[in-house]
Structure 1
Amino acid sequence: MSLIVSIDTSTKVCSVALHKEGKLLGLSELFTEKSHSGMLTTLVENVVKQAGYELSQLDAIAVAKGPGSYTGLRIGVSTAKGLSFALDKPLLSVNTLEAMAAQLKDMYGADTLLCPMIDARRMEVYCGVWNTEMGTISEIEAKIIDETAFISLLEKQPIVFFGDGAAKCKSQIAHPNAHFPNTELYPSARTVGVLAHKAFQEQAFENVVSFEPFYLKDFVGTTPKAAQNKA
């Protein structure tokens, strides 16, 4: 059996889900970044309790490891590691973009590709491309979007671009095979838990001591000029 609580704080949405054998039992989502540090532990406790369980009954803790917001990922991973230590439960991690692709995999035909995008800086996004069978078509990367982005794939088949980084790319990716849903889609612990169940079956546990978020890029807190002046 697998009773897994999952955490996703990769973007401004803070979400917690509880799954049993991959089936959703409870979900709580807050659409504000301010909720990450102040409410995350409370959300975990409430989701588990409202489903009729105790934290001690969990079989594992899962977390969306990134890419995404540097601060959000730090909070999510730190909380997940803390719960894993305190409860003596194994830790699982799921790639945020892969979990986003899983949200739409049953909504499109086999000829359509899925490209979740998380906003980075300016015209850059964190992205990857999957098919609806969750096979990787294009590896995860930090990609600067221009009119040539994804052109070789778009010439062959439709691609759905979604996530909080997709809107700013719409003017650049103007190919007829490029589709942008009207609804903005965010990462969610709902699909993190589904992928975590698979990882649990494979016993793909993380080392709680050494595990770190998947930032994809180094965090930049100051401009190069400011950094030089500080040095």
Structure 2
Amino acid sequence: MLILSFDTSTRGCSVALHSDAGLLAGYDLYTDKSSSSMLTTLIKNCLENAGYQLADFDAIAVAKGPGSYTGLRVGVSTAKGLCYALEKPLIAINTLEAMALQVGSFFKGHLLCPMIDARRMEVYCALFDDQNNFIRETAAVILNDESFQDLLKDFKVVFFGDGAAKCGPLLKEHPNAFFPSIDINPSARTIGQLAIAAFEQGNFEDVVAFEPYYLKDFMSPARKKTSALV
């Protein structure tokens, strides 16, 4: 089994190649606007360095969101185009679920709360146990002084991702709130891990109908101006 995975959910761009034996190659680039300009380059580099061609892969996996509207459109459009051209199945993975998989083994007995910045005081987040099982489903949450207080009374919770910076000033003094000292970004490396399991279970998407998981309705600048005048 060979799976090509990529993630463009946030400002970064990440590509990975997996077999059922594990990770074969991976590239992670975290610069502003890297998803649209560098995705195809990273795919090409990954394939060449690992010694494979696109036709060799059994499936294409992509981070479906939530995340940046533009980034998600770039990633999903590229994945759908490759699947359609190569007649390969499409696998879509929740970005937050893949983020949680990065840290679960380091925080046994904790709940995991990956967060993606959604502007102002809003974040996209979900809650997982240390085995990567959903405890609370993905949601857009506006942070305030009461956020997560119900959980922190009884559980130790790890907050991470680029949205966690907004949560820090509100919760960092709570003894059950933990904020890792290193940046934890979405990565195709864990998208691919989850995609292996999805492939084995036959969890594929309809290539034609599939859309990114925006979580909130996309509103273009033109629509925003129109809405403000209503």
For the superposition of Structure 1 and Structure 2, which TM-score range results when normalised by the shorter chain?
A: over 0.9
Q: Which aligned segments of 4 or more residues in structure 1 are displaced greater than 4 angstroms?
A: 228-231
Which deviates more, 177-186 or 166-175?
Answer: 166-175
CA distance in 1, matches of 2:227, 2:199: 46
Q: Which residue of 2 aligns with 1:28?
A: 27
Q: Which residue of 2 aligns with 1:72?
A: 71
> Cα 1:94–1:228, aligned 2, differ >3 Å: closer, same or farther?
closer
Give deviations 1:88-107, integer Å, cap 9, x for gaps.
11100000000000000111
2:198 is equivalent to residue 199 of structure 1? yes
> Cα 1:180–1:223, aligned 2, differ >3 Å: closer, same or farther?
farther
2:14 is equivalent to residue 15 of structure 1? yes
**SS in structure 2 opposite 1:171?**
helix
CA distance in 1, matches of 2:217, 2:142: 16
Q: Which residue of 1 aligns with 2:163?
A: 165
**SS in structure 1 opposite 2:105?**
coil
Letter in 2 for 1:85: Y
2:151 is equivalent to residue 124 of structure 1? no
In the superposition, the TM-score normalised over structure 1's length comes to 0.94
Give the drift of 1:86. Answer: 1.3
Which deviates more, 49-58 or 66-75?
Answer: 49-58
**SS in structure 2 opposite 1:73?**
helix
Greater helix proportion: 2
CA distance in 2, matches of 1:30, 1:222: 27
2:192 is equivalent to residue 190 of structure 1? no
Q: Which residue of 2 aligns with 1:137?
A: 135
CA distance in 1, matches of 2:224, 2:28: 39
Letter in 2 for 1:68: G
Give the drift of 1:22. Answer: 5.5
CA distance in 1, matches of 2:63, 2:134: 18
Structure 2: which 5+ residue stretches go unaligned?
none
Letter in 2 for 1:80: A
CA distance in 1, matches of 2:73, 2:137: 23
2:119 is equivalent to residue 93 of structure 1? no
> 8 Å contact 2:14–2:29 — kept in the other structure?
yes
Give the drift of 1:221. Answer: 3.1
Give the drift of 1:12. Answer: 0.7
Q: Which residue of 2 aligns with 1:41?
A: 40
CA RMSD of aligned residues (A): 1.6
Q: Which residue of 2 aligns with 1:60?
A: 59
Letter in 2 for 1:176: P
CA distance in 1, matches of 2:176, 2:222: 38
Give the drift of 1:224. Answer: 7.9
> Cα 1:154–1:54, aligned 2, differ >3 Å: closer, same or farther?
same
Could you tell me the percent identity over the aligned residues? 56
Q: Which residue of 2 aligns with 1:50?
A: 49
> Cα 1:93–1:224, aligned 2, differ >3 Å: closer, same or farther?
closer
> 8 Å contact 1:22–1:194 — kept in the other structure?
no
> Cα 1:224–1:208, aligned 2, differ >3 Å: closer, same or farther?
closer
Letter in 2 for 1:67: P
